[in-house]
Structure 1
Amino acid sequence: MSFYGLLSKYYDDIFPANKDQIDFLTEEMAGCQTLIDIGAGTGNAAVSLVRLGHNVAALEYDNSMSEQIREKNQDVSVITGDMRKLNEFFSAPFDGAYCIGNTLVHLSDVSEISEVLAQIAGLLPSGAPLVLQLVNYDRILTDTIDSLPTIKVPSKKLSFHRGYELEGNRISFTGTLVMDGQSFSEKTLLYPLTSGELTKLLQEDGFTDISLYGDFKRSPYSKENSPALIAVARKGY
């Protein structure tokens, strides 16, 4: 089994459903019937939003995670695929979109990120909301942070360690799952997208009314202190 296949088995233990996250998305997507979830993971957000009355199409790269979404709720429309090919999977307009869980930075550079944002814009009508969530890479780059706090799940006797190492203009992320005395690791290259870069790309790809937050409780974004970067934007007119 691949590392991410193994991780998917414990994903909901490590990253459980987050009420603040769902409340935030519900507020931003108010009045939206059809939504697209890009990088849906195991579908916690998609399933929650379907239960609240939205129609959600979920795109997830990892097949084992896609299967978990289908098992949780068959009303979520799930496609397994690469977000760089959004236009190949979706054509109908959506009322709103979100891409959370640090998904966007799995793309290789600002050019790929811009292309995906442009494809998202093409799926939305004017005024439609977009929510993005990333790790705060302003802080990671400035303070040369090499790890984030370990996530521990005592009930399952497991922990998840997150290490970062700068490699050129990208970051090598090492995820390590420790369970029952055994350790499983995999490295993934990420692009450390800063708040300034993200704001610029959103503007260039046709989004307006951009707001930045440091968490799903709507704390003001701080480059120095915020754990996350959450951007809310609207498709321009």
Structure 2
Amino acid sequence: MSGSEPDAYGRLAYRGLIAWPERLQREAPLLQRVLAGAPSPRVLDLGCGSGEHTRLLTALGFEVTGVDASASQLEAAREADPRGRYVQASLAELGEALQASQGAAICVGNTLPHLCEEAEVRAFFSGLAGRLAPGAPLLLQLLNYDRILARGERTFPVVLRPGEGEGGDTVFLRLMTHHGNGRLTFTPAHLRYRPGTATPLELVAAHDVALRGWRRAEIEALLRAAGFTVSETLGTMTGEAWSPTSSDLVILARRG
């Protein structure tokens, strides 16, 4: 993740809310389709977190560099794969952090909204364009903020992960506050659920994260201004067409 507080997620067991094997299995076909046209096997995983997609793409034969602003997330990524290549940097600093020409890039997991200012997104796309080879594909995935902002949505479904023994179950709660102009405060919370005890529901950690809900038209305009060509827009990582009510916004672009 990237933003003004790069380790906001480091204080949460946030990655645990995702069923990773199932997610990666769903997303692998689209990733393979997009990266099949890359001019070289060198791929950037931008906002890599603890490295799940980095390891997936490495297993598929790509030379992957994971990039994230969070030191604790990169520490977890290196523990899972000591031989992996990881760089600590925010998205807006790519032009300074990366030197080699890359064959492709992915930026998934709702990473882009952590850049709250248009100048930051412009710097990200410009720096990325300067590090990608001509014709290199880019896959961007974020939540569909066209829908979220239009409806004023403030919550996501509660996620409960069964625990073992006296530790209890893990509960993830995610709330949003809208401030206008696409600006949001996102509050992820990690709770422990132990029914029948003196404290059946205990807050383990919570944190506020500033986000910007970028709409489709805004992102596509900024990509084109940086020299990218938008080739396809999808509503999920399994390839469904985008609509204003889609769950996600997935943009496939190519560096000119």
Question: Structure 2 length as normaliser, TM-score?
Answer: 0.86
User: 8 Å contact 1:14–1:152 — kept in the other structure?
Assistant: no
Using the TM superposition, give the Cα deviation of residue 15 of structure 1 relative to its aligned residue in structure 2, in angstroms: 5.0
2:120 alignment counterpart: 112
Q: For each residue in 1:106-143, what CA deviation from the matched residue of structure 2 results, as whole angstroms up to 9, or x when unmatched? A: 01222211210111111111111000011110001111
Q: Identify which of 100, 103, 112 aligns with 2:111.
A: 103
Query: Percent of counterpart pairs with the same letter?
Result: 30
Superposition RMSD in Å: 1.7
User: 8 Å contact 2:92–2:120 — kept in the other structure?
Assistant: yes
Mapped pair 1:203 → 2:207 = no
1:29 alignment counterpart: 35
User: 8 Å contact 1:55–1:76 — kept in the other structure?
Assistant: no
Using the TM superposition, give the Cα deviation of residue 27 of structure 1 relative to its aligned residue in structure 2, in angstroms: 1.6
Gaps of 5+ in 2: 1-6, 194-200
Q: Identify which of 122, 133, 136 aligns with 2:130.
A: 122
User: 8 Å contact 1:164–1:174 — kept in the other structure?
Assistant: yes
1:176 alignment counterpart: 189
User: 8 Å contact 1:93–1:125 — kept in the other structure?
Assistant: yes
Question: Structure 1 length as normaliser, TM-score?
Answer: 0.92
Residue aligned with 2:50, SS:
coil
Q: For each residue in 1:150-187, what CA deviation from the matched residue of structure 2 results, as whole angstroms up to 9, or x when unmatched? A: 22212461121111111132111111111243212111
Larger radius of gyration: 2
Mapped pair 1:221 → 2:242 = yes
1:232 alignment counterpart: 252
Q: Distance in 2 between matches of 1:207 and 1:138?
A: 22
Q: For each residue in 1:69-117, what CA deviation from the matched residue of structure 2 results, as whole angstroms up to 9, or x when unmatched? A: 1112233211122222112210110000011111111012222112101
Q: Distance in 2 between matches of 1:201 and 1:153?
A: 38
1:158 alignment counterpart: 170
